[in-house]
Structure 1
Amino acid sequence: MSQSQPILIVGGGLVGASLAIALDAAGLPAVLVEAAMPTVDAQPSYDERNLALARATVNGLRAIGVWDFAEARATPITHIHTSRAGDFGSVRMNAADEGVDALGWTLPARELGAALLRRLDTCRHLTRLAPARVESIEAVENGWAVTVLAGSERRRLMTPLLVGADGTQSVVRAQLGIGTREHDYAQALFVSTMTPERDPRGRAFERFTDDGPVAVLPLAERRVGVVLTVDTEHVDEVAAMDDAAFLAFAQQRFGWRLGRFSRPGKRVPYPIRRVAAEALVAERAVLVGNAAQTIHPIGAQGFNLGLRDALTLAELVAAGGDPGASAVLAAYAARRAPDREGTMAMSHGLVRLACLDQPLLRPLRSLAMLALDRVPPLRHAMSRRGMGFRANAPFAVREKTP
């Protein structure tokens, strides 16, 4: 198979689209197979969530030309306050202490999706098939033959590198025979927006409780994004609440740091399940984003982690040569392993430890929070991690010096 054949990306969500754009920016031909029509309303991942984009993530989006289309709708996060109901102590991170203008930014997923679509429209080396679905994947010499049904047309595409960016229920992963390790948290997230009595002024909050974490993110027009974790057995009860009852529920879970909540927006529940692929690569194939790992949304690391997947792969492929060569894929797996394993362990450990109702743990958790807040080197290390900076990170996400 000719090495000039395009890379084939299955999945046009946030990570798949970002990868396609990064490859195009490097002058590499690719085909993007999208299950939905390329519109904000049709793409499932361009939904009601409010994303917390780490500083490194915004660096990456800026490097591939997406941030220009998104920045106007983004809200900077200048402070992050982390606490635990019933414990003393808290951890406070401040952009000024780190010498930056923002630790990250919040942006509705729909707005990021719209920015990605606008940037995709400018791509010169990319072929987009939508709506389309993969019917079969067949191994051939030096690559894959993928049969795709696009509308009423059936096409057989040849590629030296097949990329699965098709989400938690990845068809590519299944057809490659890659298994998964799964954990059902028996929880769902309720995502909504509200107007607090006090202006959040760039402050984001993460509050751990016996019932799960609560996050409050600053948005434009003095609104906040509210993320509430609810046990599966109470999902129907919370979904059936009227606005007044839901406001009271959110207030009780979060507290009064921003005063009284009002004007709740649409609320949508999302089940929480951890799904980790047992391998990131196969012969001339690779997984990125939620196809590689779907993690607990605590700390808002899902898309941030997935974008580092995409940009690492694009960086390695752009170095030249055969994009599906075993050395390239081995390098990808090796570079992603520490970040991936560390982020998954952190998110899983936090939700198990910080939300565990164990009175004996409270003084230990409180002392840990006090240490993180009062010891500058520890706070700095946590801030750097929160901003998305990692060893072996793709060049695009690194902080640029003047």
Structure 2
Amino acid sequence: MATDSQPPATSGSTPGPCHDVLIVGGGLVGASLAIALERHGLDVGLIEAAPPGSLPAVFDERNLSFAEATVNALTALEVMQKLHAPSGPIRRIHVSRRGDFGRATLDAAAHGREAFGQVVVARDFGDALEARLSELPSLVRYRPVRFVGLEDSPLARHRSVRVADQGGERVLHARLLVAADGTRSQVREALGIQSDSHDYRQTLFVTRLRTERAPDGTAYERLGEHGPTALLPRGDRHFGLVHGVDSAEADAVAALDEPAFLARAQDAFGWRVGRFLSCGRPSMYPAIRLLAERSVAPRAVLVGNAAQTIHPVGAQGFNLGLRDALTLAELIGAARAADPHADCGDRALLEAYVERRRVDRDETVALSDGLARLSANPSPLLGPVRSLGMFALDRLPSVQASLVGGALGYRGHVPALCREGGRA
């Protein structure tokens, strides 16, 4: 079983606990990485801000769209089996833009698939991850603990990390430090890795939505000038609603009562699922893009939102971050299989990680950013271009095939666990 550690206070010059891999961040990607590393017999530490019995804030009522590749991997890691609520299959994807002619529909059956993926509620996924983490025999969990900074290590071929809890500051050591601490990564900043950011000036409202017609497996992406209004088919006969608004209007939208908010979202989306009947209290999230100028440093690597945070249009953020984690775990596992004493933080291993992630990262970021910018541009000159794009996507098999591969989670080098749980 995983153990919670309260290491004794140490000075910066005294070696504290040493790990093969030390992960900072126990959210979606960090927890998944800890689980993926378990099978390779490593000494892994996980630094978490949330105390035992609590979930990180990211595990809220938002809806996560898992691509097929993600479902495969999480099934192999025995996480999907621990979900309590039923997931909702995405059998079709319907894309349109308000004010433009045309629409595009992708059907999983036409591409030999039962579904493109599954919709999972973040809180339920958090509970499943927690249940799986608690089963890991060698994982050491530091919680609630916060990252303070880096310091020179007294140990050769290690990173030294200063952390703090209610008992004071302590120093941990690891051959490889993994930053999985999100968009505002303190580890990335401590490593001196710069980032480029773009504010789309959109705020996304997320909630559960009940409609006149229950979900039938279709995920809707209705693009607009101020962001998408998306409906994701949950497994509880509700949709997961994402409604984008101009950030300048966010406070006014947040102040709307339920009928007024439903009317606004209905106007943006249309009537494809009938009347919007009720919803939960929406949560707000800014839409930004952040790209780290590099994803590795000596004995350190960035994964998930710490490396790249992308616009949620297309729902690829977590899927991309999970493939970061799985690729890293796969490379470490292969190195350990060849040599049980292989160094997890070896420079060549990190360079191989960067190369394996290049195509998937670049193409997914480019698609997300391009779609967000193009769909939000109100210029009437772009209307015909977008309409032609919708026509091509709906009618041309070659265009569909390219997008379908990405929607399923298969871009660039695909981690083995994503290919039917590693059996393919």
**Corresponding position: 1:109 with 2:122:** yes
- Contact between 2:52 and 2:143, CA under 8 Å: does it hold in 1? yes
| Contact 2:20-2:344 at 8 Å conserved across structures | no
Q: Is the 8 A contact 1:84 1:90 kept in 2?
A: yes
Q: Which residue identity is paired with 1:108?
A: V
Question: Match of 1:159, SS?
Answer: strand
Further displaced range: 140-149 or 16-25: 140-149
Residue 187 of structure 1 aligns to a residue whose secondary structure is strand
Partner of 1:325: 346
Q: CA offsets, 1:319-376, max 9 Å, x none? A: 1111100000000111112111111111111111122112121112111111111112
CA distance in 1, matches of 2:365, 2:398: 23
Name 2:409's counterpart in structure 1.
Answer: 388
Query: Bigger CA drift: 276-285 or 31-40?
Result: 31-40
Q: Residue in 2 aligned with 1:118?
A: 131
Structural mapping, 1:129-140, within 5 Å: 129-140=142-153
Aligned with residue 79 of structure 2, among 48, 66, 91:
66
Q: Structure 1 residues 359-368 or 302-311, which shifts more?
A: 359-368
Equivalent residue, structure 1, for 2:369: 348
1:1-400 pair list within 5 angstroms: 5-40=19-54, 42-70=55-83, 72-140=85-153, 141-152=156-167, 154-319=169-334, 320=336, 321-399=342-420
User: C-alpha offsets along residues 228-259 of structure 1, whole Å, 9 cap, x if unaligned?
Assistant: 11111100110010111011001000000000
Instruction: Decide whether the 8 Å contact of 1:75 with 1:105 is kept in 2.
Output: yes
TM-score normalized with structure 1 length:
0.96
Q: Percent identity?
A: 50
User: Structure 2 unaligned runs (5+)?
Assistant: 1-14, 337-341
Q: Which runs of 4+ in 1 moved over 3 A?
A: 399-402
AA aligned to 1:17 is A
- Matched residue SS, 2:23: strand
**Structure 1 partner of 2:8:** none
Deviation at 1:72, TM superposition (A): 4.6
Task: State the distance in 2 between where 1:265 and 1:136 align.
Answer: 39
Q: How big is each residue's C-alpha offset from its partner over 1:101-149, in whole Å with a ceiling of 9 and x where there is no partner?
A: 1111101111111110000010012100110012231233311111222
Judged with a 3 Å threshold, the aligned counterparts in structure 2 of structure 1 residues 229 and 39 are, in CA distance, closer, same or farther, namely farther
How many residues align? The count is: 399
Contact persistence 1:129–1:150 (CA under 8 A): no
Secondary structure at the aligned position of 2:250 is classed as: helix
Aligned-residue CA RMSD in angstroms? Answer: 1.6
- Deviation, structure 1 residue 153: 5.3
Q: Report the residue type matching 1:241 in the other structure.
A: L
State how far apart, in whole Å, the 2-side matches of 1:36 and 1:71 are: 21
Gaps of 5+ in 1: none
